[in-house]
Amino acid sequence: MVFEKIQEIVAEELGKEKEEIKLNTNIQEDLEADSLDLFKIINEIEDEFDVKIETEDGITTVEDLVKYVEKQQA
């Protein structure tokens, strides 16, 4: 469920099709997102899951976001 919601958020923020976004998708390289895009995606994820993502460091793939959220929710 976490992946599906993050997939939806990333697709909406970047104007991409959900099918383009896989766990191993690199947000900046594969989806051509810049730092502002990543900031917006993180804000949406924080609001949706009621978590705080302290830093963008180490977050490069969709899977990184999913794992971060799941860890915060545990």
Residue tagged active-site, from 30, 34, 50, 64: 34
Neighbouring residues of 46: CB distance < 8 A, sequence distance ≥ 6: 52, 53
User: Which regions of the chain does DSSP assign to beta strands (E)?
Assistant: none
Query: Quick check: is 57 catalytic?
Result: no
Distance of CA 63 to the CA centre of its chain: 8
Catalytic residues: 34
